[in-house]
Structure 1
Amino acid sequence: MQKSVGIFIFNDIEVLDFCGPFEVLSVTRIDESKRLETFSPFDVKLVSMTKDIVLTKGNMKIIPDYDFETCPKFDILIVPGGMGTRTLMYDNNVLDFIKEKVKEVELLASVCTGSLILANANLLEGINATTHWKSLQRMEEEFKNVIVCKDKHYVEDGNIISSAGISAGIDMALYIVKKYFGEEVSRATAKHMEYPYLEENKRRIEV
């Protein structure tokens, strides 16, 4: 049974924020020796406010699979970051969507400043979380009830995982692979990507 994953995309999203986790989860295989004959245990889809083409930072054009109205139930929801979060963290449609989805998912994750959206949706109250290093002070000042972690690539607290900026989303996604399918599968995924697999105690705080 595949785990369904939704990645929220929006205008001015940071490309690697969503492409990093997308790559990790989509190239995962349970049996590396059968890579060409099998599919990923994660079914990854992109969801946006509308079905319009999304322009990333750098003007990559992305077509979402779903809009808010047609979005199905996911097991995992990932909220990336980028300049677009500066306005979206105050957009009631986005906040309502995230708050509704968190009732359905097993796991909620953020990359970079995506955690600011979660914080403004009051989903990080009393939660250990992190964000891009340039936004750590802002998170600390604006969201007094968030326990801001400043020295970790990703932080797990309950069913919420947040990662630091941009490339840290790859480390977080590899941890998600491990969480669901074990370290051997996660390491094989990193090796396939030719990405260094760093030890968790250097990357993570778990509460």
Structure 2
Amino acid sequence: MPETKVIGIVLFDGVEELDAVGPWEVLAYWTLNHPDDGYRVITLAPTDGVVTCAKGLRITPDHTFADAPALDVVLHPGGRGTRPLSRNREHLDWVRAQSGRAELMTSVCTGSLVYAAAGLLRGRPATTHWASLDELAALDATIKIDENARFVDDVDVVTSAGVSAGIDLALHLVSRLSFPYRAVGVRRAIQYDPQPPV
């Protein structure tokens, strides 16, 4: 039986809760209910200890960067904590290293700012939260920004718009990494069928 591949969701102080937990819900439901698809999902953070999210939710990651298994898919959420990370040389080096090893680098919301600062988005199509599009352009003028997309898939890098768009991105990953019908089943199971009341 082939070795199980690992999807890692990056956590950090100031991470936007739904950026991380929305994709976690999708990916964890998929991997726990369909282990034969060959994936599992973990959380990891730069250092040991509890992560305090943007609105106060506290999460204990499964691993640190140092003790995490090799990642096949990286998902970097956004949140106010991405601004210091986009200037943190050690974090950017880690992102670049993952890009050289992982099959797929993905981001939600302003996680794309970190990818841009690390040089991953140079000359590529990408997106981010609508309120941060100018920030993304300022980091790298070569990025082909899609202002309207919920997510942008550019082969080995996938970026999404803000917050709830991470759920769309995660469902896309399920479809891409397994089968479209599997993603439909996961969407139905978590009852994700947006019909905003306002």
Q: TM-score, normalised by structure 2?
A: 0.92
Q: Which runs of 4+ in 1 moved over 6 A?
A: none
Are 2:110 and 1:113 aligned? Answer: yes
1:47-73 alpha-carbon deviations (Å, 9 max, x no partner): 111012100012111111111211221
2: CA distance, partners of 1:49 / 1:185: 32
1: CA distance, partners of 2:132 / 2:186: 30
Kept in 2, the 8 Å contact 1:133–1:164? The answer is yes
Specify every segment of 5 or more residues in structure 1 that has no aligned partner in the other structure, as ranges. 198-207
Trace 1:157-176 onto structure 2 (pairs within 5 A).
157-176=154-173
Say if 1:190 and 1:184 are closer, same or farther in 2 by CA, change over 3 A.
Answer: same
Kept in 1, the 8 Å contact 2:133–2:145? The answer is yes
TM-superposed deviation, 1:29? 5.9
Trace 1:3-42 onto structure 2 (pairs within 5 A).
3-28=5-30, 35=33, 39=35, 41=37, 42=39
1:106-135 alpha-carbon deviations (Å, 9 max, x no partner): 110000000000000001011100000000
Partner of 1:97: 94
TM-superposed deviation, 1:40? 7.4
Kept in 2, the 8 Å contact 1:17–1:111? The answer is yes
How much is the aligned-residue C-alpha RMSD, in angstroms? 1.8
Equivalent position amino acid for 2:29 in 1: V
Partner of 1:205: none
Equivalent position amino acid for 1:4 in 2: V
Equivalent position amino acid for 1:51 in 2: D
Trace 1:82-161 onto structure 2 (pairs within 5 A).
82-161=79-158
2: CA distance, partners of 1:142 / 1:97: 18
Instruction: Return 63-72 or 155-164, whichever deviates more.
Output: 63-72
Are 2:186 and 1:184 aligned? Answer: no
Aligned pairs, number: 192
Say if 1:184 and 1:131 are closer, same or farther in 2 by CA, change over 3 A.
Answer: same
1: CA distance, partners of 2:21 / 2:160: 14
Seq. identity, %? 34
1: CA distance, partners of 2:35 / 2:28: 8
